[in-house]
């Protein structure tokens, strides 16, 4: 019986800790949404530019001319 009670308490503590972590992450993201959006836009820009579709013709790494 005591083993079952201990297991239930461990499950309750794990769920409570998970809820606290998610709440903390959501609060942090809400407070820093501008920086997150800027970082995502910069990463998207870099991924689009790294596609090799816009070669300037000056011995770039994309076309190897």
Which of 4, 2, 6 lies closest to 14, judged by CA? 6
pTM exceeds 0.85, yes or no:
no
| CA 36/CA 39 separation, integer angstroms | 5
Mind listing the pLDDT tens digit for each residue in 12-50?
999 999 999 999 999 999 999 999 999 999 999 888 876
- Displacement of CA 54 from its chain's centroid (Å): 28
Q: Is the dihedral of CA 47, 49, 53, 58 positive or negative?
A: negative
DSSP 55: -
- Cα-only R_g, the chain: 24
């Amino acid at each position: 019986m005591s083993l079952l009670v201990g297991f239930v308490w461990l499950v309750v503590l794990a769920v409570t800790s998970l809820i606290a972590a998610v709440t903390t992450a959501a609060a942090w993201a809400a407070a820093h949404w501008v920086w997150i959006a800027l970082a995502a836009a910069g990463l998207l820009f870099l991924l689009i530019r790294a596609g090799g579709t816009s070669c300037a013709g000056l011995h770039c790494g994309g076309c190897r001319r």
